[in-house]
């Protein structure tokens, strides 16, 4: 579930790129693990680390300055839509905007290729060591 909380960050950056360019803003996250990963700039799980890296690379490109903080789900405007409940946003007369997942995926592609290359190399090294009689 933490990866979803992290994914929302880069997805928002690519969706509202023109609004967030050179902006200072508050980024509330309602998952403690996701908030911690974004603040530290690192995630111990490879999926999280990939998304956190994407977030900070995009942040650097946008020259934006976020203040990241944890907020309880009941106080998070994005919690309702994440559960397919947009009643609060409708009451606020907000407008829906489709996420820019195409730009995000094209941005992630080089990261994913490097990750795959590194994983393939690690598997090959481990396989060769086992063939040569090294202990596991």
**Phi, psi of 84, deg, nearest 5:** 60, 30
What are the pLDDT tens digits along the chain (136 aa)?
578 888 888 888 989 999 999 999 999 999 999 999 999 998 888 888 888 988 998 899 999 999 999 999 989 888 888 788 889 889 999 887 787 777 777 777 776 666 667 666 766 666 666 666 655 5
pLDDT at site 8:
87
Span between the terminal Cα atoms of the chain, in Å: 32
Given a contact cutoff of 8 angstroms between Cβ atoms, the answer to whether 21 and 70 are in contact is no
Rounded to an integer, what distance in angstroms lies between the CA atom of residue 75 and that of residue 44?
27
SS3 107: helix
Domain ranges, ordered by start, for the chain: 2-131
């Amino acid at each position: 579930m933490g990866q979803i909380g992290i994914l929302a960050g880069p997805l928002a950056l690519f969706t509202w790129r023109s609004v967030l360019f050179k902006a200072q803003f508050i980024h509330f996250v309602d998952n403690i693990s996701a908030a911690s990963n974004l603040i530290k700039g690192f995630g111990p799980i490879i999926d999280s680390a990939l998304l956190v890296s994407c977030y900070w690379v995009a942040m650097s490109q946008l020259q934006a300055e976020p203040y990241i903080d944890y907020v309880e789900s009941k106080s998070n405007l994005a919690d309702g839509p994440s559960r397919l409940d947009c009643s609060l946003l409708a009451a606020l007369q907000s407008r829906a905007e489709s996420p820019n997942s195409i730009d995000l995926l094209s941005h992630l592609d080089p990261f994913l290729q490097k990750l795959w290359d590194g994983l393939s190399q690690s598997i090959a090294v481990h396989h060769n060591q086992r063939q040569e009689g090294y202990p596991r």
